[in-house]
Chains A and B, each alone.
Chain A
Amino acid sequence: MTTTLAGKIKAFKNAAVLLLCVLSLTFSSAFADDGAKIFKQNCAVCHRLDAQKLTGPGLAGVAGRVPSDDWLQKWIKNNEALRKSGDAYANKVFQDNGGTAMTVFDGVISDEDIKTLITYIKNPPAEKAPAQEVAKQGNEAGAGQEESPVNTYLILSGVLALLLVLAVVLRGVKYNLLNVVAQKKNQPEVSDMGWWRSTILWLSTHKRTVAALVIVSCLWLSKIAWDGMMGIGVYTGYKPEQPIKFSHKIHAGDNAINCQYCHSTVEKSRHAGIPSPNVCMNCHKGIDHGPTTGTAEIAKIYAAIGWDPQTQKYDKEPKGIKWVKVHNLQDFVFFSHQQHVKVGKLDCSNCHGDVKSMTVAQQVQPLTMGWCIDCHRKTEVAGMKDNPYYEELHKKLAEKYKGQKITVDKMGGIECAKCHY
């Protein structure tokens, strides 16, 4: 009996232990979930769970570094108070990280939550291998890419060559058949005078057709010549390779970053402005791999501005980036972005096309004088009613052109000296 009782107790104990284990596991995973949330909301801006330094030190093995869990608790809650209390390790951490103070979380995260957080930091979830992730994203992006357009000229010339071969073969067949017929009828053989001479013969006997053909082809050739001449100095379709494979599609399209975030002088200057690398770093300090090119292209920004991602410091020689200018207006014409964007309230896409879908920046519009004037003739003056600065002028214009659309050309938008001086 005793043995069975002892056995029962033992079994009960085992079951209890097992239950406890299971419970604690569930709890700890629940804690971990909460921990992840708290971490993401409050800590991840400055800390990573692995050993890599961000603004603050990497947290891998932090429990082994610090004096105790209790110390960690105090540090997270109010690191300032801990430092002021003269705690040697707290002041050492502060000095080691360049004297940058951590946010005080007293009153922001509760003591319980800090405990959960510490548990989470000690047992970070296994991370996905970033390389695989990049490869996966790369594939996705690759699948989405447009196919390279098949060259129409190549197809056409292939068809032409095929037709020529066919013509030569059929010609041979024709004369063979003619000779067979002649032999049957006991007539003399038909001699082939050669394709060139027979063509000339045909041409000299069909003068009207030939004249028509010559006229049509002359017209066609002069159209090609005309188009060719009109293309001189017009950069439409210019799509140069840039030193960094910057994609407007990823930045302005997928991530919905406003054009003016990077081209921030567009409302203040003639020039929209090419962002200096410090603007890139506003996001790329934290984002070091991209969806299509991995770390290769973003590393070029780091090199250009002298940022060392290992030490998280600008401790190298900055070099700058030599972007290739896409939209080039001739030096003899004045153009101001400020005037068009700030006062004229034009959207960037009016002149630059759908940049949000461009992987490589490209000139879409011709930027010729005819194109400028065309727009000035069609576009109504913006802010006729709500721009107090030009109130007087607008009133006069409205009187002068009563009942008409007041377009830019009506206020001198096509005068030579407006742009050429």
Chain B
Amino acid sequence: MFGNTYHMVRKIYKRVLTLGSFVLVLASCGKKDANSPGIEYMPDMYRSPSLEVYNGNQLSDDTVGIRTVGMRLPVPGTVPRGFMPYPYANDTAGYAAAGRELRNPIPLTPEILKEGEELYGKFCVHCHGAQGGGDGPVGLKLPGAPPAYYGTLKNLPAGKIFHTITYGKGLMGSHASQLTQQERWILVHYVQKLQHSKDAPAAGSDSTAVAKVDTKKRK
């Protein structure tokens, strides 16, 4: 009697145990190793053969076929649509010429200044500081802090500012890959505002700048 029950119960328990361990093994597959994204159901739908950005240049030799061609380098001298090449060379003469000849094509308005402030907060402030004094957290870590807009660079003309954002100068690198020409000109407006940020209030540029804009608008 007892033996019978014993065998029956053992059978049931064996089944439960097998099922349980199976489930546990399944569950443990879902456990995440930080270096592995985990299991994917049908990975070919997650990573289809169509080419995506950052697939890289997979041209080992010139085989053309599925998954072999990634981004190709454009032909030298290729000009993107809507792009105006910058005519000044990255040298002393180009710098001087840009300062002499270039004018900001974007008219100064309060909206543009606001946009410039936003761009400045994204692309400049960590080195040049909120007031352009060269005292941003990264600027202070550089071997030499950037010169202050309202100090050494107070009289830097717009063209030279644009030239510097385009090519870089000294420790500053080129920001042409991050900013379009239009964005650079918008930034020039804001940098020029900062050149006068420490002026005496009587000659304060803020009020004059806004006043100028107002007159323009009325015209």
Contact = CB atoms under 8 A, between A and B. Distances in A.
Given A255-B137, A261-B122, A287-B141, A41 B152 contact: yes
Nearest to B171: A286
Interface of B: 2, 5-6, 9-10, 13, 16, 19-20, 23-24, 26-30, 32, 34-41, 45-48, 50, 52-54, 56, 91-92, 95, 121-123, 125-127, 136-138, 141-148, 151-152, 168, 170-175, 177-179
Contacts of B138: 255, 257, 283, 287
Interface in A222-261: 222, 224-225, 227-229, 231-241, 254-258, 260-261
B interface SS class? loop
Contacts of A276: 177
Interface string A22-63: 000000000000000000111111111000001100000000
Interface of A: 40-48, 54-55, 99-101, 108, 197, 200-201, 203-204, 214, 217, 221-222, 224-225, 227-229, 231-241, 254-258, 260-261, 264, 270-271, 274, 276, 278-279, 281-283, 285-287, 322, 325, 328, 330-332, 362
B144 A227 contact: no
Contacts of B23: 221-222, 224-225
Contacts of A283: 127, 138, 142, 173
A233 B177 contact: no
B142 A225 contact: no
Given A54-B171, A254-B137, A260-B122, A233 B38 contact: yes
Contacts of B56: 322
Contact of A255 (B54, B126, B170, B172): B126
A391 B91 CA distance: 48
A261 B54 contact: no
Contacts of A221: 19-20, 23-24
A401 to B, nearest CB: 30
Contacts of B24: 221, 224
Contacts of A264: 122-123, 177-179
Contacts of A325: 54
Contacts of A46: 144, 170-171
A55 B126 CA distance: 21
A44 B146 CA distance: 9
A249 to B, nearest CB: 13
B123 A40 contact: no
B10 to A, nearest CB: 7
A282 B175 contact: yes
Contacts of A41: 145, 147-148, 151-152
Contacts of A235: 37-38
B47 A331 contact: yes
A283 B138 CA distance: 8
Contacts of A328: 37, 46
A240 to B, nearest CB: 5
A234 B32 CA distance: 10
Closest CB pairs A-B (n = 3): A44-B144, A228-B30, A282-B173
A101 B97 CA distance: 14
Given A43-B144, A282-B175, A233 B170 contact: no
Contacts of B92: 99-101
Nearest to A47: B144
Given A41-B148, A55-B171, A271-B54, 8 more contacts: A41-B151, A228-B27, A239-B35, A256-B137, A258-B123, A283-B138, A285-B173, A328-B37
